[in-house]
Amino acid sequence: MELKRLEAILKDWSVWMRGMDSHKLWYPTRSTFLSSGGESSHDVFEHMIEESDDKNVKILDACIDSLVPIQKEAVYNQWLNGKPTSFHERDYALALDNLLTMVSRRIYA
């Protein structure tokens, strides 16, 4: 996985994390009850992309949770507008390196 792709998923993750503060129940906005088997439309494709992005965000969240605390804090500070620590750049660079390794094994992007 390239750093650019990881940063795109991190951006989606930050939006998802900010949304966690709301009191929304996080149920899907729509549900598929019947598969037509051969019909294809723009909405179906967009829904598949959204599902894939949601899955990637959840995988990334689990990877961030498994970082050492100082690196996890650096990621949170970088993407959720926290107050950077004195060694933020170093800790964030180490976190990105570790995330690239972990995420590359779990997300095929």
- For residues 24 and 75, is the Cβ–Cβ distance under 8 A? no
pLDDT of residue 109: 64
CA atoms of 61 and 17, how far apart (whole Å): 9
In this prediction, residue 27 carries a pLDDT of: 46
Count the Cβ atoms, other than its own, within 10 Å of residue 52: 13
Across 9-15, average pLDDT:
94
Question: How many Å from the N-terminal Cα to the C-terminal Cα in the chain?
Answer: 6
- pTM score > 0.85 for this model? no
Rounded to the nearest integer, the mean pLDDT of the chain is 83
